[in-house]
Amino acid sequence: MLDFNNTQIAFSSKSNGELRNAQLLFTAIAHPSLVKCAKVASNFALKIHFPVSWAVKPTLYKQFVGGETLQDCVPIIEHLKKYNVKSTLDFSAESEQTPEGIQATFEETLRSIDFARGNENLAYTVFKPSTITTDDLLAKASEKREPLTEAEQAEYEEFKKRFFALCQRAYDNDVRILVDAEDYCFQDALDELTDEAMRMYNKKRAIVFATLQMYRHDRMPYLERIYNDAVEKGYIAGVKFVRGAYMEAERERAAQMGYPDPICPDKAATDANYDAAVQYTVERIDRFEMFMGTHNEESNYKLARLMDEKGLQHNDPRIFFAQLLGMSDNISFNLAAAGYNVTKYVPYASVRDVIPYLIRRAEENTSVAGQTGRELTMIRAEIARRKRG
């Protein structure tokens, strides 16, 4: 019986020391003012090239990041494997959008796809399209408010080449690749490219996965379009479901630019949309492969129940549950112990490059209602259980 409150299984991978560290960390990041100060301090330190490693590495970095390089991530991959949890290595450097930075990110992503070749402990590879071009160009190409100049068009063609080169490499290596979803203003262009890539590479199995942010109220019709296209053109659609990470910014931008808010009116509507997408997909699973990225316990229970109802094996290779490294271990490890396919997003990058990612994780754990509370309650319960036992 699946039970996310089973802390013994949830933290079986953590030593007493690691558990105490996690407790300290989550206690600290529960304080919004502390996170705000850390953000200001780390941004300033980065600007003046002040070393921050000593403060970040044993704390946030240790909890949420796999290492600086692919090779550094091997111990965590091996460790997770012992608990039936696979890894998805995510190059999370948020470098400046210079031609050199873009090229370096592109090359590192290629290396991550090569690294995953034939490695059954690596469930997926992944990339953020905005890291292989500039935000301004992507928004302009996607929104089509004004035509691209000749130079911009040439730059956009370069971006497309990089996008398809990553998908092609995944195809050649026979590994799955997730195209992360980002800002609303980029997404039309990215959907178009991802749809095309799915048609090209998903004939035999799902290699390329589109990400659908279900906090957007227009995503069910998009999912239906993907399904119809897959049936018509004869391929397996890869879909990754998340709720979406940029709600406040999206609402602000829509108001500023004077277009309708793309986000569902409230949390309940987002949850209903999310459930509907998962249900739709499971009911047509012969045409889909599905990655469900969420820390929401109810969503995870629902998918597990749905799989039972449909008579699907827990380890049906078409369905994966996913959480971020260092978060919601109670979900990941309990699902894995019950035989479901589970993967952790394992970010990697140098301390300096990954700081914006870490700050977001800290902020998320402060702002997502109940997330830190849940983590802390679980950790405290497990510490108490170990003391008793």
Pairing of strands 177-179, 122-127: parallel
Q: Fill in the per-residue mask, 298 to 317: x = in contact with ligand FAD (CB under 6 A), - = not in contact.
A: --------------------
Asked if 63 touches ligand FAD (CB under 6 A), the answer is no
State the number of binding residues for ligand FAD (CB under 6 A): 25
| Nearest distance in Å: CB 81, ligand FAD | 18
The conformation of residue 216, written as its DSSP 8-state character, comes to B
248-277 residues in contact with ligand FAD (CB under 6 A) are 263-264, 266-267, 270
Give CA–CA dist 27/21, Å, rounded. 10
Contact segment (CB under 6 A) with ligand FAD among 75-83, 228-236, 244-252, 353-361 equals 244-252
Give yes or no for a contact between 176 and 123, defined as CB atoms under 8 angstroms apart.
Answer: yes
Give CA–CA dist 11/334, Å, rounded. 9
Q: Quick one: which of 180, 191, 329, 382 contacts ligand FAD (CB under 6 A)?
A: 180
Contact segment (CB under 6 A) with ligand FAD among 148-156, 239-247, 346-354, 374-382 equals 239-247
Q: Quick one: which of 7, 211, 332, 341 contacts ligand FAD (CB under 6 A)?
A: 211
C-alpha distance across the termini of the chain, in Å: 23
| Cβ closest to ligand FAD, residue 46 vs residue 246 | 246
* Encoded tokens for 38: 């850390």
How does DSSP assign 333-369, residue by residue? Answer: HHHHHTT--EEEEEEE--HHHHHHHHHHHHHHHHHST
| Nearest distance in Å: CB 241, ligand FAD | 9
| Cβ closest to ligand FAD, residue 110 vs residue 214 | 214
| Cβ closest to ligand FAD, residue 45 vs residue 269 | 269
Whole-angstrom CA distances from 72 to 66, 78, 133, 232, 235 are 7, 11, 27, 44, 36
| Nearest distance in Å: CB 328, ligand FAD | 8
Asked if 38 touches ligand FAD (CB under 6 A), the answer is no
Asked if 330 touches ligand FAD (CB under 6 A), the answer is no
In which residue are the tokens 């996008």 written?
Answer: 163
Q: Quick one: which of 247, 336, 346, 359 contacts ligand FAD (CB under 6 A)?
A: 247
Q: What is the CA radius of gyration of the chain?
A: 20
Provide the b/e sequence for 131-161 (b: ≥16 CB within 10 Å): bbbbeebbbbbbbeeeeeeeeeeebbeebee
| Cβ closest to ligand FAD, residue 239 vs residue 263 | 263
* CA 379, 305, 240, 183 torsion-angle sign: negative
Asked if 220 touches ligand FAD (CB under 6 A), the answer is no
Q: Quick one: which of 238, 244, 326, 347 contacts ligand FAD (CB under 6 A)?
A: 244
Asked if 296 touches ligand FAD (CB under 6 A), the answer is yes
Task: Report phi then psi at 33, rounded to 5.
Answer: -65, -35
Q: Which residues bind ligand FAD (CB under 6 A)?
A: 180-181, 211, 213, 215, 242-247, 263-264, 266-267, 270, 293-296, 322-324, 345, 368
